[in-house]
């Protein structure tokens, strides 16, 4: 893997246009140095419905990905993959539609329960839902809230956890999704700025 991507969406929950503002970044996988950034805004999507966020966010994420100069070799998506009630979160949607290996990296737990998780940096614990292993909680900083990793598409859970660990740069979120969050915010601000 030479190019690793990050993807996130910024949206206002009660926006009447139902706009999704996507930001994607591409980094050098070895140095985690930015190579490219793109954004896209898609309006008129589904309203906010818990559990169906992928349908709202995926069109904007796919539009932003199409604006990168080349596809990444691996994409970290801010959201869930298989750690989802239907086993198909936004990371799965985007991975299948773009035919890219994807990893869901979420900031909150959507389904299931986490096995006991130590407070130490790097600690992991299984996320189980209905008796099935659906993801891994990772303590990316000592005593910080964990992040929740799950398979999106074309990757194993062990590889997903290993890649997320490689992308940590001393912060709670891995660099690709942290930078994608910033890119999505810039996209939203640009799209909603009043005309001059």
Q: Where are the domains positioned within the chain?
A: 3-104+151-192
Provide the 10 A C-beta neighbour count for residue 156: 10
Sign of CA dihedral 141, 143, 147, 150: positive
For residue 5, what are the contacts with CB-CB under 8 A and spacing of at least 6?
Answer: 24, 25, 26, 27, 65, 68, 71, 72, 74, 75, 76, 100, 176, 180
Residue 56 structure tokens? 């709202």
Per the listing, tokens 């910080």 go with 144
Query: Which tens digits make up the pLDDT trace of 2-50?
Result: 999 999 999 988 899 999 999 999 999 999 999 999 999 999 988 888 8
The mean pLDDT of the chain is 96
For position 50, what pLDDT does the model report? 84
pTM over 0.95: yes
Query: Which tens digits make up the pLDDT trace of 97-135?
Result: 999 999 999 999 999 999 999 999 999 999 999 999 999
CATH number for 3-104+151-192 (one of 3.30.2170.10, 3.30.479.30, 3.30.390.50, 3.40.50.280): it is 3.30.2170.10
């Amino acid at each position: 893997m030479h190019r690793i991507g990050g993807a996130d969406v910024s949206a206002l929950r009660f926006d009447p246009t139902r706009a999704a503002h996507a930001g994607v970044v591409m980094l050098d996988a070895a140095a985690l140095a930015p190579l490219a950034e793109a954004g896209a805004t898609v309006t008129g999507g589904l309203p906010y419905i818990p559990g169906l966020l992928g349908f709202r966010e995926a069109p904007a994420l796919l539009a932003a990905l199409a604006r990168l100069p080349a596809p990444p070799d691996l994409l970290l998506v801010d959201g869930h993959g298989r750690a989802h009630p239907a086993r198909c979160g936004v990371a799965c949607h985007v991975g299948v539609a773009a035919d890219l290996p994807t990893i869901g990296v979420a900031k909150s737990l959507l389904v299931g329960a986490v096995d006991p998780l130590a407070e130490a940096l790097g600690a992991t614990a299984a996320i189980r839902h209905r008796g099935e292993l659906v993801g891994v909680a990772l303590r990316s900083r000592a005593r910080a809230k964990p992040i929740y990793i799950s398979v999106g598409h074309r990757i194993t859970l062990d590889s997903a956890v290993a890649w997320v660990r490689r992308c940590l740069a001393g912060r709670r979120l891995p660099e690709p999704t942290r930078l994608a969050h910033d890119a999505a915010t810039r996209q939203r601000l640009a799209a909603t700025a009043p005309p001059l």
